Structure 1
């Protein structure tokens, strides 16, 4: 798998984590806004969708991507640039060049992961041979196996654990960690992306997209229910609201106005839920 393909996969994966969405268009819209605000990269969400189709879905030919964009994509997921990503990224189940480290202390051979309970993996992106010798002061001061392991980590600059999570000497952190700390309500504005409100610092995103002042209550609680088949009278009556526009009914988690057509919402009734929600009639099994 090419490094560019891996990178596109990872930025959409991170976008899903940061937004809680799994639809490519919603994630692409978020990425377009976020990359503009944080990295000053002007990229349309439609371009990002084309990248998705080319490198993830495989529904179109792969597209050439400018190097500076690859650098910014890499920064978004916690790397210094695309070169750093290419050298250090490790994908689960991908083949990697690994070396088993054997440590000899006082003529006793210790093999990490076999007779010590320690697993040390040195992963390289180029064909090189790395030799490590235990300094004399380590032997003289009687450092244990754990201390030696930590010393090796300092020498190599990174640790790769058995679950493929990596801690490196880079000062960059994945945005998912920061997104877990910030709720988004500290931003000045928000916009509706079709399912929920997304926080932003920009008063303008693109033509046709309305950006409004941050309303913490709406931002945290107002969402469209995109799975009408899960709604029933038992679980949705009294706790959902709906709008009906040209025969199409959409359900929401709280009262207000439908952001897409401006219609006032109404509290869902048993009739509305029975008719427009629940399992589609053609998917109901016929009992014999």
Structure 2
């Protein structure tokens, strides 16, 4: 449950920060962000697999602890354990106001306690009564109860000896202002009814990538509706074969190497075409150019 919630929150944040709507577009943004920010490599394809496994196929996928910690840090948590002990759900209302529910669990403060300390913070802007909020925002209310009920039950109520009820009937009379949990309440003061969570699978409605952009080293596919500067028509031949050689000293022969010279700057590429950064046509690497700019520099 925690890993599924982690992946969902990461893609939600990635969607807001990147301005992209497609799964692969967000995955590409996340991959580039993790490498630029922490030099931590998680490929676009890996992010897509996480999304498919947890959010579409509803399957659990093994993720190593180092990656879980780094994913949690992207959401501004200390590590994955900190993420598991703290969860937040936010509902944006039609009038642009929002309501958030945050649950923090501290199970290390007192080893003699049977249950951990649970802090529940409910923030509404503008301030609404809890009963009015659940009435008007029924979608969030039900989902919030289901997720938090399942989350807390799976992680902290496994020691109960009595059988756990699988279903609960929620009546309007139960929800009132008097039932709002207070901050720093103990688990014994909060009654949590475990409920099975049923997640509906959504169809993956992705538009086909028909554009691409230059990253400085290679061409990357993109949706034409996305925002990267310099979007051009997709050419898979260029995507697969056209790369900038950033370490010329690794070139050992003139075979299948092209170059451009502009303002005394020589750059090398793995295929014919034009230099995406200055529009200059590329030339086939000759023995003379190889001796002058590569072999001579390597000696």
TM range (shorter): 0.3 to 0.5
Q: Given the two structures, how large is their TM-score scaled by the length of structure 2?
A: 0.38
Q: Given the two structures, how large is their TM-score scaled by the length of structure 1?
A: 0.39
